[in-house]
Structure 1
């Protein structure tokens, strides 16, 4: 079983923020794939099953406690593979990179997952750029002039996720990385 986690914060006020690109990619993926919503409060999130081997999760724990939701789902379904989609301030908007393992890079959602699940999972890193104030930048909405580039990178990330599910991260990293 593969678990794909899109990181973000719940609620209308966070919907279109940079920190929610993980949620955005999951939503885009769900638009084109038939899924069943699995309702179980112990999972602390929106969990979708695509087929017998693929789960998509949007934690409802807020970013800093994402690991609680991820661990609950991973342990219940005994997932052998985990892919986490998240925003990355060290990459410019429009950039997309892939990685397995490593540090959280200061990302609180990743820190939570690392503490509860370890750090040897695959990552889809979506660049959101860096602002003057990190917190207000990642919790801020995309500007109108950024939205076209955001749509482009999310569509590329969706295609990359489909390929990643069928291969391994080293092949995807060399063929699907985007530089901004």
Structure 2
């Protein structure tokens, strides 16, 4: 079994807060995957058990408020005798622009009180899905900003983001984080994915243009045309190179004379 934990604050007052994007994400996973049971109160949170692909999953939304999220996660982990690596936490990230995301395993809490609490209860070796909500630009405004509701205009990026997370939840369930990130980028940022794909394809194309023997050999086959000097062997290139200018005085010159006699004069 794996745990997918969404972070937020309980109650209708906080339901659409930026700080509650983790709750929104697990709610969308729950909505799109019919195998999940109705939400129920357990382990100091709202939980729902179901299956995604071949993995049994427990969705959990701590009811302990953000700053005490670790109490719910720790109790659940101990009950099922799971390891921190079996936990994925989804939460809001001020340092990422809206609609951006990052996958990460382990590390510090970065000032996020929900992570601070979870790390205190289960250690730091759990997986994280950080969802960007942007920064208000002044640290004095952060508290009101994260506890403020998403604007109507945020719907344009928020709904596609949550939808893609739920669509690709099977990769999260199987801990295939790199594949999940690739799928998300392809869906949400196709232009970026295309640019990255071209960069990745370039070296592969160069390698594919050579035969296996050429790719492994340090001495490529002679070029089809003399206009391509890069096809020359290392020995031939060395023969054509201009002779190095050797020192005629100083310690290096003395050393060369000892090695080669007067041939260097």
TM-score clears 0.5:
yes
Q: Is the 8 A contact 1:25 1:154 kept in 2?
A: yes
Higher helix share: 2
Greater alpha carbon shift after TM alignment, 51-60 vs 115-124: 51-60
Q: Could you say which residue in structure 1 is the equivalent of 2:161? A: 153
The answer to whether the 8 Å contact 1:93/1:128 transfers is yes
TM-fit CA distance, 1:39:
4.7
* Cα pair 1:48 1:56 within 8 Å, conserved: yes
Seen in structure 2, the aligned counterparts of structure 1 residues 171 and 32 have a Cα distance that, compared at 3 Å, is closer
Bigger relative contact order (CA 8 A; separation at least 6): 1
**Length-normalised TM-score, structure 2:** 0.63
1:10 partner SS: coil
Equivalent in 48, 57, 62 of residue 59 of structure 1: 62
| Offset of residue 157 of structure 1 | 2.0
Higher strand share: 1
Give, in whole Å, the separation in 2 of the partners of 1:57 and 1:164.
Answer: 15
Q: Which residue of 1 aligns with 2:73?
A: 70
- Unaligned runs of 5+ residues in structure 1 are none
Question: SS state of the match for residue 36, structure 1?
Answer: coil
Equivalent positions of 1:20-99 (< 5 A) are: 20-33=20-33, 34-37=35-38, 39=40, 41=42, 43-51=43-51, 53-80=56-83, 81-99=86-104
The one of 86, 108, 117 equivalent to 2:113 is 108
Alignment of 1:169-180 (within 5 A): 169-177=177-185
Unpaired runs of at least 5, structure 2 = 193-265
Matching residue of 2:128: 123
CA distance in 2, matches of 1:175, 1:19: 25
Change (3 A) 1:174 1:46: same
Q: Equivalents in 2 of 1:99, 1:92: separation in Å? A: 17
Q: What is the rounded CA distance, in whole Å, between the counterparts of 1:123 and 1:167 in structure 2?
A: 11
For residues 60-83 of structure 1, the C-alpha deviation after alignment (integer angstroms, 9 at most, x for no partner) is: 000000000000011101224110
State the match for 1:19 in structure 2: 19
Q: Which entry has the higher C-alpha Rg, 1 or 2?
A: 2
The answer to whether the Cα contact below 8 Å between 1:37 and 1:46 also exists between their aligned partners in 2 is no
Q: CA separation in 1, counterparts of 2:40 and 2:106? A: 30
User: Root-mean-square deviation (CA), in Å?
Assistant: 2.0
Q: In the comparison of the two structures, how many residue pairs are matched? A: 179
